[in-house]
Structure 1
């Protein structure tokens, strides 16, 4: 069972690619038509707003991942038990089913992963747009 725990942790670590740094995220603006002295403080303020939202997104993602992991593990164990009924390997099938279900559950919920990864950048862009800046990049796709 210990090897399944290690396998699940490896899957969780490898599936969570590092999000771009919000501290260095900067939308693309035309420096010739933008007052860059006014832009920088607005950018810092918008990053602050996005940072607060990012903390909430990460909490939601963590809660959803834990739920998905447990539901996957229980479902997988039930399938393993059903498949292994009357078999001498039923215990192994239950453990394998639980591990496979947990791994599947851990990788589910990509909408939260996308929200955590790109949502804060989108907030920065929308915040600056609302303040009157014309962004040249697609929403959330500035530079880091």
Structure 2
């Protein structure tokens, strides 16, 4: 349970990169952060859309391959159905996107760095 809690991240709208306060003007930081968050939120929406499309495609391919493999193994339609279910699950797991790797948070960090803020955290880790 603890390992699952570690994977949960705050919403992107609340994400704040760690910066060196000695090298950052607080007012400029807040303005830049709001602007960079908008860039990150736009990227997040695009990543989610692409992830849904990839997952659907992978699941369909998995269902087809699993059903064919299941049918080849045995004469029963149970094997084809089991193969299709397994293939759908494998297809869903095979979907790899930037969301899983913190892409929008890395975008915010790079945006802030490009605007002159010294980012102290690992990119995307806030």
Above 0.5 in TM-score? Answer: yes
Task: Please state if 1:40 is matched with 2:30.
Answer: yes
Deviations 1:123-144 (A, max 9, x none): 10000111011111111111xx
TM-score normalised to structure 2 length:
0.89
Point out where structure 2 has 5 or more consecutive residues left out of the alignment: 1-6
* 1:79 alignment counterpart: 69
**Which residue is equivalent to 1:116?**
99
The CA RMSD over aligned residues, in Å, is: 1.3
* Distance of 1:116 and 1:139 partners within structure 2: 14
Kindly state the Cα deviation for residue 19 of structure 1 after the two structures are TM-superposed. 5.0
Number of residue pairs the alignment of both structures matches:
119
Q: Is the 8 A contact 2:40 2:107 kept in 1?
A: yes
- 1-side partners of 2:12 and 2:119: how far apart? 17
CA distance in 2, matches of 1:20, 1:56: 19
4+ long deviations beyond 6 Å: none
For normalisation by structure 1, the TM-score amounts to 0.78
Deviation at 1:67, TM superposition (A): 0.3
Which position in structure 1 is the counterpart of 2:87? Answer: 101
Gaps of 5+ in 1: 1-16
Deviations 1:31-60 (CA, angstroms, capped at 9, x unpaired): 233111110010000000111111111100
